[in-house]
Every structure is written in C-alpha cells, then in structure tokens.
Amino acid sequence: MRIAIPKEILPGEKRVAATPHTVLKLRKLGFEVAVQAGAGLNTDLSDSAYQEAGATIVEDVGRLWSESGVILKVRPPLTGGVQGVDETQLLSPGSLLISFVWPAQHRELLDKLAARRVTALAMDCVPRISRAQKMDALSAMANIAGYRSVIEAAQYYPRFFTGQMTAAGKVDPAKVLVIGAGVAGLAAIGAARALGAIVRAFDPRAATRDQVKSMGAEYLELSVHEEGEGKGGYAKEMSDAFLKAEMALFAQQAMEVDVIITTALIPGKPAPKLITAGMVESMKPGSVIVDLAAEQGGNCAMTRSGEVVTHKGVTVVGYTDLPSRVASLSSQLYGATVASLLEEVWKDGAIRIDESDPVVRGAMVTHDGRVTWPPPPLPNPSPAPPPEPGVAVHSGKAETAAAHGGASAGSASAFWIWVVAAVLAGAGIAVAAPPSFVSHFTVFVLACFVGWQVIWNVKPALHTPLMSVTNAISGIILIGGMLQLSGSNAAAILGAIAVLIATINVAGGFLVTQRMLAMFRRNS
C-alpha cells in the first residue's frame, strides 16, 4: 500500500508529516512512500534525502493523493487553500487520513470527510492512556511549544533572565509566571529555570503541585480548594468562586512578575480569558506575555492570533506556530507518533480498523461514511455480584470467612512456632556451648537487632535506599564493637577499630547522600 506525504499548504506551516528517518520505519512496515516534491524544504530536508530513504518524489499533487491509500498530514485538510486547492476533494473514497483534525472546531470538515467515505484518525484525539504514549502527538508538540515560548519571551524581554552580580551593579533575575502546568507548562518551567529565572506556576489540578515543585518552581495555591482534573488529564471548567479567587491571584501576580506564559485550554471550547486588559496595563514596562492558547482565542484579552502586539510597554506574543518554529525536531517527533499509530491499524498487510481498540476508536473521527466523533464511552465490565452472607471478597476471589480466618490463624500459629523454635535453640546453645561462645553470640544478636533498628528508622529522605541498607549493616558493626570495648585487651582494641571504621562509614554515607541531593537543588 502506498503512503502519501503532501506538502502543507497553510501559510507559515513548516512541518512535514514524515522525515527520512520515519520513512525508513514506514518502509520496514511494508509501505511504499511517496513524498510531494519540496515537502521538506522548509524543514531543511531535501528531496534527495527522502529518495535515499527509499521514498518516491512526486511532482503532480493530484496523482500523489489519488494513487495513495494512506495520507499523512500535519494540519487538517484545507478547503480553498493556496492556489484554490481543496484538499478534501483530493482524497480518494475509502482512503485513510491521519493528521490533526480538531473535530470540535471543524464540524463541517467532518461532514466532508464522511461524505467521501474517508476514515480519518485525528492525532489530537488519541486517548491519553499508557499504551498510547508513543502516539501522543499533542504532548510532543506541546513540549516543543512550551520550550519555544520561553525562547520567544527571552527575545522580547529587554533584560537578562538570570540574575548577575557585576562590577556595574546587581541585575535581578526575571520573574516568570506559568499558568497551566500541563506538558507545555512544565516544558516552559524547565526552560525558564535553565535560563536562571525565578519561576512561579499555577494549575487548578492538585496533581501538578509536586511536578511543579520538583522542577524548582513555586506552586501558587488558592484559598478556595476545588479539584480541576477533567477527563483525559485536561483541566475542567471551575466554579464561580474558584474563578474569582483565581483572577484575584493573577491580578496580584501581574504586578510582580516580568513574564507570563499562558497555556490554559479546555478541550472543545474557546480558551478561557485569564489575563484582562487591566492586568496587562498593571505590568511593568518591558514585560512580556506569551499566549500559547492564541489559536483558540487566547488566554489574554489583548492577544491577536498570529501577531505580536505591544500595549503600554507590554509585549503580547500570540504566535500560533511555535512548534513550526522548531520545524526539524517537530517533524521528527510528529512523524514518529504517526508511524506508531499507523502500526496499530496495519495488520497482515492491510489496513484494519478495530473499533474495539480504545486507541483506534478514540482517534477515529470519521469511518465508513459516518461521523464517529465523539467516541462512545468504553463499556464498563459487568459489576461483580454482591457477596453471599459468610463470604469475604479478597483480591477479586471469593473466600469463605471461615477459610479467611483459618488462614490468619495458620499464619499466627506459624509465627509462634518459629518463636518457640528460636527459644529452644537459644536454650540449647546456652546449655551445650561454652560460656565464651554464649557471650559472643549474645553480643552478635543484640548488635544485629539494635544496630539495624537504630539506622533503619532514620528518615528515608536523609539517605537513599541502598545507602540505608549499608548504614544499617554498619550500625550492626558499631553496636557490636561498642559491646566489646569492655572485654579483654585484644577484644577491646578490635572493638575500638570496628567502632571507628563503622562510624566513618555511617557518617560518610550521610555526607555522600547530602552531596547527591544537593546536585538536584537550585537556589531561587
């Protein structure tokens, strides 16, 4: 089967749906690959590079689409694009389209695709589950957009991001506020911290708190406690009380920070307005706002999609092509996710759409002449019947209460059997062994018990799991050596040496752990 890689016709779009590297992967799967002439020029990928990977270069756009059973794109098919091309009319009936579709915003496009009986898999609809991580194009592009947003902010910010102490005076580090701690937000936090800025972040989802703090940023919290986790890991719409407290927080932060990066989006709805015109006017001259939600209307009231606006000394960046500004890397990552999704439907040398597959069904927006978006919820497994009286359910298996109790009784009996056996063994040793052996054996047992407990109960944050074990063993030696100090001259000398070495080992273990932890700390 033949795969077509057309050139994107949206003005300013530099990405391409496959690179020579991913072409090699597609050919290993058994596909023929045809690439439109010049498709990768904006990504610094020449036609000859595609040919070396085994692709065929096609000049005629109509033939490229009509003779291919699979079309891989980045942007949704455009109607009336450059030179009046209607890409939906180029699709052959029964073909497979894989691209970003954004079905909530392009309902008319879905109807056109269904009318041509095209099966469309939307990369933006791939469910966020563990098995689909390698197909998560949204996260891949959001990661790049978050990083690039900081680069754009640094370009327009008229000062250093990092603080400096120079002969001419002290330069304070920039203060950056990141609104939304999803993939893009975390990437922005990491990039801003790497440039030396003081970073603050806010997200209504409590699960992001530890992620933000782990990256060295300050997590801003509200007095109104409400969980913002929505379906698929995205944020959901919040209550009026929460929104009021949120806006008050942003108004306060706008007067303090130098850079604001907004990433807030709710699937299927316009971007929420979080930064008002008044907040923009309250910011210091030279401040920068980078709005990653510009394509969906923007989180800032002053944002203009695709443009850079300056209002009273504050620069508002509304670029909608941030991943395209890192076109080479974006194309590589996007092509890899597309190839992974294609593997899910390529079975035994043919395209097979399995609607029972949660990944395929979640991404499929049109199929067999019908619009299949939004996907129906997956059927829940049949609930287990209520347990009968006298039956306990444990780990998905039914056990009678008597049997469960019998197992507990059996475990207790085994424990006491071991205790009695240990006592009898100790009594036998005390009777049969010479007094010197009994003395040494008692010291050994006490050292094992006391030494292990003393070190093992140290707070885990103070040493790594491996270091805790080695320190516990050193603790055994330490206690044993201390008990021998009161013995004969030779035993006391050996005990003193053991105490000295064990002490050095324990102290050194904590010191090494402290230095390891310090490598992951940065001063704000």
Please give the positions annotated as active site: 128, 133, 136, 139, 234
Q: Which residues contact 106 (CB under 8 A, 6 or more apart)?
A: 76
What's 285-345 look like in SS3? Answer: CCCEEEECCHHHCCCECCCCCCCEEEECCEEEECCCCCHHHHHHHHHHHHHHHHHHHHHHH
Tell me if residue 164 falls in helix, strand or coil.
Answer: strand
Check residue 434 and report its DSSP letter.
-
Q: How far is CA 329 from the centre of its chain?
A: 18
- Residue 48: how many other CB atoms lie within 10 Å: 10
Is the distance from CB of 176 to CB of 258 less than 8 angstroms? yes
Q: Could you give the CA distance from residue 199 to residue 178 in angstroms, rounded to a whole number?
A: 7
CA distance linking residue 92 with residue 518, whole number of Å = 60
In the block, which residue shows the tokens 């942003």?
250
Q: In 3-state terms, what secondary structure has residue 459?
A: coil
Angle (CA) 134 137 142, round 5°: 120
DSSP annotation of 308 reads E
3-state DSSP call for residue 275? strand
In 277-330, where do the E strands start and end? 288-291, 308-311, 314-317
Rounded (5°) CA angle 504-510-514? 140
Q: What are phi and psi of 299, to 5 degrees?
A: -90, -10
Beta pairing class for 218-219 and 198-202: parallel
The one-letter amino acid code at 2 reads R
- Nearest one of 162, 189, 163 to 261, comparing CA atoms: 189
Q: Which token pair is 270?
A: 């316009």
Sequence-ordered alpha helix ranges (H) in 46-136? 47-52, 61-66, 87-90, 107-115
Question: How far, in Å, CA of 509 to CA of 516, rounded?
Answer: 11
**Cα dist from 450 to 28, 127, 456, 478, whole Å:** 62, 52, 10, 10
